[in-house]
Structure 1
Amino acid sequence: MRERYLFLPRNTEKPATVLSHEKVWAAIDALASQNGLTPSGLARRAGLDPTAFNPSKRVAGDGRPRWPSTESLAKVLAATGEALNTFAARVETEDAPSGSVPALVPVAALEAASDRNAFDAAGRPSGATWQQFSFPQPGASFALQVSNEDFQPLYRNGDIVVVAPDAPLRTGDRLALKLTSGRLSLYTLQEAGGEELSVRTIGENSHSLRFRHSAIEWTARIIWASQ
């Protein structure tokens, strides 16, 4: 199938900017990430249906590429303060450095990710719980979106934390910790050693907790947060 293109003229002295279907969506994902949002969060901020930018909406039922409408792009630019020429520059390939297109990592609400079916047997995100989040840095495995006020003032409702399960943990690191009971929450590491892990809760009235390693399903260091 021949790929279609959208042309946005910049001025009469330079060639038109050529935006392929793939690059337009990559630019939208990058814009969402820059603003600390998932694609659905960006759509919501722009006053659109939250599913408008979901990966499933980027291809029609017959397999043809589905483009974002001019109206939806205009609303997104207005909601983020992004200029049209800046948005076009995101997808220009002639000046873009290699590897500049952000990767997509799975993202889910913290409570939803606590579900036993949110991860497969290898500990990887799976199922319909997860959407896609554009994140430019290497080493990320998945992201979690805070959906309550329990972690204020550090993390607020709607903030996103990106985690890396393979990253080494050090005292003072913030981490996501999932127990074998299914509970998933965010903490600050105090001490790791022996048969227990000592952490401190995040939020008002913070206090220390200790978990036996045998009761922990996995831990993942928080490497980025949108606050």
Structure 2
Amino acid sequence: MKHADIWRAIDRLAEECGLSVSGLARKAGLDPTTFNKSKRATPGGRLRWPSTESLAKVVDSTGTSMSHLVALMDSNADRAAYRRIPLIGLAQAGEAGYFDDAGFPIGGGWDEILFPELGDPNAYALEVAGDSMEPAYRDGDYLVVSPNARLRRGDRVVARTTGGEVMVKELVRQTANRLELRSINPDYPDRTLDGPEMDWVARVLWVSQ
């Protein structure tokens, strides 16, 4: 293992999580500067390595595995397995011009994040705002959404009404004429949307916290 390999893995893991290296360190409960490029060598040129404790905290906080972190060290890893997906604010998602009738993102002008290939060309990320999804999702989290993924009971989903209201809840039941949703935060009400109210619904596949 080379010095460049371990830092490459940390950089790539941060990308996968939609975070800067400072954000990754903060998520792991470390000093935000722990993984900064300026900390990777002393002013005199001596190489600095991240501690095993730091790596263990990163793996635990991101829900990944040490074997995955090791795989990210490979300088020949296929970066084509990653692609940029749109990052849309939750408030933007309720506005006209960001989605078509099927719930696929359209247009442009949004930010992007790098994410492993999902096999869904219409995948996108939503940035959480507010506390309506706590404790599962918090303000600033990124939810990666797949409009083409099959929906099942118990899935976390993003639903939009014909009036432009966007909500993230748990799917209880879906029929051709009704969508029953359970609130993730018990302080907020469950929702039932009848056919004329429903615009689209899509499955949440992953969250970057």
Amino acid at match of 2:18: L
The total of aligned residue pairs comes to 167
Q: How does 1:95-134 map to 2 (within 5 A)?
A: 96=77, 98=78, 101-120=81-100, 123-134=103-114
Report the Cα offset of residue 123 of structure 1: 3.9
Amino acid at match of 2:90: L
TM-score after normalising by structure 1: 0.60
Report the Cα offset of residue 222 of structure 1: 0.6
Report the Cα offset of residue 129 of structure 1: 4.7
Unaligned runs of 5+ in 1: 1-9, 18-23, 47-72
Q: How does 1:26-45 map to 2 (within 5 A)?
A: 30-34=12-16, 36-37=17-18, 42=20, 45=23
**8 Å CA contact retained: 2:101, 2:199:** no
Per-residue CA deviations over 1:116-159 (Å, capped at 9, x if unaligned) read 12224664323455211111141351011112222111111111
* 2:126 equivalent in structure 1: 144
Amino acid at match of 2:178: E
Query: Separation in 2 of the partners of 1:37 and 1:99?
Result: 15
In the alignment, does 2:75 pair up with 1:92?
Answer: yes
Unaligned runs of 5+ in 2: 25-35, 42-48, 51-68
**8 Å CA contact retained: 2:104, 2:147:** no
SS of 1:214's partner is helix
Query: Separation in 2 of the partners of 1:76 and 1:125?
Result: 39
Query: Separation in 2 of the partners of 1:223 and 1:112?
Result: 20
Per-residue CA deviations over 1:161-213 (Å, capped at 9, x if unaligned) read 11111111111111000111111110101111251111112213243211012
**8 Å CA contact retained: 1:177, 1:220:** yes
SS of 2:203's partner is strand
TM-score after normalising by structure 2: 0.65
* 1:191 equivalent in structure 2: 173
Alpha carbons of 1:123 and 1:195: their partners in 2 closer, same or farther (altered >3 Å)?
A: closer
**8 Å CA contact retained: 1:43, 1:76:** no
Query: Separation in 2 of the partners of 1:127 and 1:166?
Result: 18
**8 Å CA contact retained: 2:18, 2:115:** no
* 2:154 equivalent in structure 1: 172
**8 Å CA contact retained: 1:32, 1:134:** no
